[in-house]
Structure 1
Amino acid sequence: MVRSKSDLVWIPVFAILVIFAVPWFLWGVDDVVAGLPVWVWWHVGWMGLCALVFYRFTGGAWDRLMGVDVEGGRN
């Protein structure tokens, strides 16, 4: 299978999503916003971003990168 340059962009995108899933830079921060710790809001926002990125992935690169044949079968 030949990969296009746009397909190779997904590798660092998903790596960044995994790296920042744990808010290490918020360790020790005790700030509270709207009754919840800041790190909880980080996770809410981060999961929203992950959902949008995954939606874009499934709309364009899913069939090629996951080995799915768009015509209905599997490769």
Structure 2
Amino acid sequence: MVISIASGKGGTGKTTLTASLAALPFDAVVVDCDVDAPDLYLLLKPTILKTKDFYGSKLASIDKNILCKVWRLY
């Protein structure tokens, strides 16, 4: 099962909801993909197994080929 929590607006409770779900007694992989403020680790105090550097630009772009592949998975 995949549960994704997303919103374009800040302060809507995405991190709080994600932390609450992660605290349930199930094995889970939790990924905080917020490039501006990835704060989930502040709530969960996890053992971080892997990190990746992020390099972005001021101009956002969407690769429609990648987006279409992702949508086909679900």
Give the alignment's TM-score, normalised by structure 1: 0.30
Give the alignment's TM-score, normalised by structure 2: 0.30
Structure richer in helix, relative to its length:
1
Q: Which has the higher contact order (CA 8 A, sep 6+)?
A: 1
Structure label with greater radius of gyration: 1
